Amino acid sequence: MKKQVHFEDIEVGAEIPAIVKHPTPVQLVKFAGASEDFNPIHFDKDKALADGLPGTIVHGRLKNAFLIQLLTDWVGEKGMVKKIAIQHRGMDLPGHAIACKGKVTKKYTESGQNLIDCEVWTENEKGEKTAPATATVILPSRG
């Protein structure tokens, strides 16, 4: 069982424990089925090339899921992801690692909720942020 993080433990500037994902063509097919996102650019290379893309690309929605997993892993069972805003800036290709990282930008209490604002992003192997995002999470207090 993972240790629960608490509001009191977190300081502005703290890093969120990173996760690294390794999307493969098989994962994109599984995700297409599980998410019902059947845009062929995620599994049909000919169609992707014809659309002007460098090849099949990772679903933006799979990267959403990776970023939200980064947060749900971090906040634990007693925390909750409240908000996330994600921009799809760059394409990721299957066969290349995607690191999900983040850092705390603000810590405050509002309407009785202990809130943490953070920046999170997916990062490709060149260190480019392909899906930058801002998020707000609720953390439990040691109380």
Cβ at position 32, least distance to another protein in Å: 8
Structure tokens at 85: 């805003």
Instruction: Decide whether 2 or 13 has the Cβ nearer to another protein.
Output: 2
Contact between 73 and another protein per CB under 8 A: yes
Structure tokens at 94: 């299957």
3-state secondary structure of 119: strand
23 CB-contact burial (10 Å; exposed 0-12 / middle 13-18 / buried 19+): buried
Contact between 97 and another protein per CB under 8 A: no
Cβ at position 85, least distance to another protein in Å: 4
In whole angstroms, give the CA distance from residue 55 to residue 107: 41
Instruction: Decide whether 10 or 28 has the Cβ nearer to another protein.
Output: 28
In whole angstroms, give the CA distance from residue 74 to residue 18: 9
In whole angstroms, give the CA distance from residue 8 to residue 107: 10
Residues 8-67 that bind another protein (CB under 8 A): 21, 27, 30-31, 33-39, 51-52, 59-62, 64-66
Cβ at position 31, least distance to another protein in Å: 4
Q: How many residues lie near another protein (CB under 8 A)?
A: 35
State phi, psi for 122 to the nearest 5 degrees.
-95, 145
Residues within the interface to another protein (CB under 8 A): 21, 27, 30-31, 33-39, 51-52, 59-62, 64-66, 68-69, 72-73, 77, 80-88, 131
